[in-house]
Amino acid sequence: MNTQTNTQTTPGNASKKPKILVARAIFPEALAKLEESYEVRSNQEDRIFTPEELQKELSSIVGALVAGSERIDASALANAKDLKIVANISVGYNNFDVPAISAAGVMATNTPDVLTDTTADFGFALLMGTARRITESEHWIRAGHWDKWSIVNNPLGMDLHHSTVGIIGMGRIGQGIAKRALGFGMNVIYHNRSRLSEADEKACSARYVSKEELLRTADHVVLVLPYSAESHHTIGAKEIALMKPTATLINIARGGIVDDLALAQALKEKKIFAAGLDVFEGEPKVNPELLKLSNVVLAPHIASATEKTRRAMVDLAIDNLRAALDGKRPPSLINAEVFKG
């Protein structure tokens, strides 16, 4: 399929309006609102652009709403002479080459805060589902294996209450998970690039430890750190070897932070108890070795996926775009040096 046939442009006297691109499908009401002010090239079919198509789409517009599927780098921006803003509908922005975007004089924005609680809720749900083997149990029932209640021969899980959770990446979402863990009487330890203030540590009752101590002592390890070249394979075979054989590993951060093949091998050999994964290396492809295992809970990158929160993310991205095109500072500007207010 090609973009020309599937990307819709607002009809009518749109030519007087500034041209923008909506690179992924969004809520129809939000699109209709945008069409009141802009000539919109929209991709409601939700097809992922090839790099060549993206470069072409960006060449004729002043603003773009994009998501993690759109890699915005020097090549994507090569012909984007009129572009003023790329507004990510996502808090993570590892799809942005920020220095290249700034060098092109383009503002870059993301959607922080509006998804913090929803994502922390999901991280906790994935932790519970993994430790207590909920999806595995459901598959077991559906396969007709449940013939009696049993003290020892039903899926036995790991406790959350009064266990130790180790959070790697203690930003807003990590702190949200820590606060939820307190309600379960859990002991919270964390590791982060920089230590939290005393007040923030107190609010989460969290203790700062080295990555090694965290891996050795946590009963549940939760990953919430941003992806970068530095955080690539934060968890690989060497790190898993430090973990308790009874531990769980939860990744709601980004694919690439965990070496998925090493994890699959460790789960197969029962080096750790189980894993819960919302994000994958090379997603939407999932390493086939993970698909063979019952001690892993898989989710399709849905940590922020409630209707309310996805609407709030789209709305914030639109606020960012509108502000930039109106000459105002976007509320969640990443590269402040580009803003000429």
Active site residues: 254, 283, 301
Residue 189 or 253: the one with the smaller Cβ distance to ligand DGY is 253
Tokens in use for 58? 């960006």
**Is residue 10 within 8 Å of residue 21, measured between CB atoms?**
no
Q: Tell the smallest beta-carbon distance from residue 158 to ligand DGY (Å).
A: 26
Residue 18 or 226: the one with the smaller Cβ distance to ligand DGY is 226
Sheet containing 296-298: order of strands = 206-208, 187-191, 164-168, 220-223, 248-251, 274-277, 296-298
Computed on alpha carbons and rounded to an integer, the radius of gyration of the chain in Å comes to: 22
The Cα–Cα gap between 215 and 341 comes to 46
Name the residue whose CB lies closest to ligand DGY: 92
Q: Tell the smallest beta-carbon distance from residue 245 to ligand DGY (Å).
A: 30
Q: Tell the smallest beta-carbon distance from residue 186 to ligand DGY (Å).
A: 24
The Cα–Cα gap between 29 and 318 comes to 12
Residue 88 or 163: the one with the smaller Cβ distance to ligand DGY is 88
The Cα–Cα gap between 295 and 224 comes to 21
The Cα–Cα gap between 219 and 162 comes to 10
Q: Write out the residues near ligand DGY by the rule CB under 6 A.
A: 68, 90-92, 115, 304
Q: Tell the smallest beta-carbon distance from residue 173 to ligand DGY (Å).
A: 9
**Is residue 271 within 8 Å of residue 215, measured between CB atoms?**
no
Ramachandran assignment for 110, one of left (phi > 0), alpha (psi -120 to 50 degrees), beta (any other): beta
Residue 68 or 157: the one with the smaller Cβ distance to ligand DGY is 68
For residues 23, 333, 15, 79, the Cα torsion angle rounded to the nearest 10 degrees is -70
Residue 43 or 304: the one with the smaller Cβ distance to ligand DGY is 304
The Cα–Cα gap between 226 and 169 comes to 7
